[in-house]
Amino acid sequence: MANTKSLVIIGSGPGGYVAAVRAAQLGLKVTVIEKNGLGGVCLQHGCIPTKSILHSARVYNTVRNASSYGINCSEIGFDFYTIMKRKDDMVALNEKGIANLIEKHKIKIIRGEARLLSPNRIEITAQNGLTSEIDADYIIIATGSSSTIPSFIPADRERIFDSEGALLLQSLPESLIILGGGVLGCEFASFFNALGSEVTIVEQLQTILPGWDQDICRTVASSFRKRGIIVKTGARVVDVQSTNESGDVTVSLESGEKVSAKCCLVAFGRTPNIENIGLEIAGIKLWNGKFRGIQVNEFLQTNVPSIYAIGDVTGIRQLAHVASHQGITAVEHMCGKATPMIYDEIPDCYYGEPECASIGLTEQEALESKNEIAKSKIFYRSFGITHVLGETDGFVKVIAEKESGKVLGVHICGHDAPVMISEASVIVANGLTVDDIGEVIHPHPTLGEILMEGIQAVRGMNIHG
């Protein structure tokens, strides 16, 4: 035990706590420093609470349409307070689960704020202001990210707020402007619209869900408009003001147009938490233009060999599942089990209505990088199970190399897309071809048959299309 290496992890988010557990499994002496709640932003203010409220909205919508399933319901409504309380309960339940994992693996938790003093020493400031120091053979920085709010926006957390503020609302806003049409902005738009708020999305780029396959972008935008969500793309925000007299928030656009609502949610993305953690003292380099955040190699190692960085703080891909895998990669590298990170085949998920998921190249990217492609687009409504579920809107799109049949990308828009993308992830990440998958029998009746049919259609064997 005298030669046991020590590891200190700053942050307990999906990168930090997963890295801690894996490190303990590999025999390292592990300490985690956390200044807030276990689970980081993902658990406390991100993935879990947002999916909780979205699921409540989905249940509400199902109940409102219960008669189509032969179910009689009366006095249909919702309790906003209970929706938000359930969200808090889900956070608490999951935080307890992480605490149990940490205890099970004999990982030490220190509550406080960490700052690097050298490549192997950390200063910890407790909540009572007292400081202490700790040494470690290795350090992992997993400090996450914070909402990006431009200086000209006077966020007051009451009428102008970020996603964290939105999750603290005690009542449903009558109307809401959402600045940013990415995944986060669109998920909140879907939630508030489902409960009856008047929602306007303002996006600077020419499409919502930028970076996604255009078929998905168009479908989600069309769905939003049908549901009464106003979508303004190509619209640059130049000013945001909260007026006490009217109680409204007014957003001014570069075009001269003004949009007003009772509240404004800022969803402009996230900024890596790199301030005041001692990066300069330890000599750690930041990216120079490629990303925003701490520069790392394919094993998440910084330019200082004893220090690694994982998750949002690296600025590479700000996704919880990426952070977790980065944490495992970093720990295994320091233990001599080197497997580099590969970022080309990472699934993206959108949990609004309609649900969407994507893996690999979009059609536009495939056309730019390949000579010839083969593609298929199979619609949900062609399969019996979607009618049984009452979920007939949606499609699965498969993109492959024409000559080899290698699957380059899969894009799903419709019910349970985030679940269905897992099979597609295995296909794309392993470089499988449509012939490799074409003989795999999928159970009937399931949504998985739609992906199978998309694969078959690329092979020229489309049955339902």
Query: How many C-beta atoms surround the C-beta of residue 5 within 10 A?
Result: 15
Query: How many C-beta atoms surround the C-beta of residue 238 within 10 A?
Result: 11
Q: Which alpha helices (DSSP H) does 37-127 contain, by range?
A: 40-45, 47-64, 80-104
How is residue 120 written in tokens?
């192997």
Query: How many C-beta atoms surround the C-beta of residue 171 within 10 A?
Result: 8
Q: What are the strands of the beta sheet with 356-360, ordered from one edge?
A: 348-350, 356-360, 407-414, 394-401, 373-379
Indicate if 387 belongs to the active site: no
Element (H, E) at 188: helix 183-195
Which residue carries 């957390």 as its tokens? 157
Task: Report the distance separating Cα 92 and Cα 89, nearest Å.
Answer: 5
**Burial (0-12, 13-18, 19+ Cβ within 10 Å), 3:** exposed
Closest CA to 61 of 49, 50, 73: 73
221 and 85 Cβ atoms separated by less than 8 Å: no
Query: How many C-beta atoms surround the C-beta of residue 433 within 10 A?
Result: 17
Amino acid at 212: W
How is residue 228 written in tokens?
């009464």
Torsion of CA 253, 259, 260, 263, to 10 degrees: -70
**Active-site residue (options: 333, 387, 415, 444):** 444
Closest CA to 8 of 114, 160, 162, 146: 114
Give the count of alpha carbons within 13 A of 28, CB side only.
28
**Which DSSP category does 285 fall into?**
P
Closest CA to 219 of 209, 228, 211: 209
Which residue carries 């339902």 as its tokens? 464
What 3-state DSSP class applies to 357? strand
Which residue carries 């099970």 as its tokens? 104
What 3-state DSSP class applies to 180? coil
> φ and ψ at 392, to 5 degrees?
-90, -10
Which residue carries 């939105």 as its tokens? 166
- Annotated catalytic sites, by residue? 444
